[in-house]
Structure 1
Amino acid sequence: MKALQAILDLSVLVYTIFIVLLLTSVLDENTIFAIDSENQALILYKILVSAGILLMLVRLLANHLHIAAFKYDRHRAQLTINNLKADLYEKRQAFRSNRNKGSYSEEEAEIPN
């Protein structure tokens, strides 16, 4: 999951840099994409916006899945902790009950009838 997030973060960064360079006219869309008319330029910008939206949605979905995995892992860890606490409680109760049985039997042995 971390590798997917790293790839998506890198893709978003590269996409953002490309769009900024394209919008500031450092890169010329006419020479890069061989655009002849303004209609083709408009279609290019629509495609770039659509690709950006899709990239952000995929990144959002990956982040949501990553958070859900963390919540699930935390839930599983909490269940494990609760089970260990229950086992410890049962062992303490058994130890106390055995210790109390042993002390009563010793006391009863000392008391003459």
Structure 2
Amino acid sequence: MKRYCLALDLKDDPALIAEYEAHHQAIWPEVRASIRESGIVQMELYRLGNRLFMIMETRDDFSFEQKAVMDENNPVVQEWEGLMWKYQQALPTAKPGEKWVLMKKIFDMQDSE
């Protein structure tokens, strides 16, 4: 099992943030299925202000590249991503077109003992 942590910003608008959270209380079944089929076992989102933090637990064979290909070929996922972009904005450090940015792990208590 692997763990990945990613960050993204939402547009700093309380009404849009509330809508975004409401969408995540009822994720489309096809999107949930696509997440699982890509090898993601568990996913959690956290928010502080307009900053989002995602924790993903994946199978060992998970690949961001493979997930991207799957997403590109899934019209429902593309529709969901288009809808979510209404609420999201790239981090200042993101590359052009990049949404979620992989975070660098800098501490693990288990590794430091």
TM-score interval, smaller chain: under 0.3
- Relative to its length, the structure with more helix (as a share) is 1
User: 1 or 2 for the larger relative contact order (CA 8 Å, sep ≥6)?
Assistant: 2
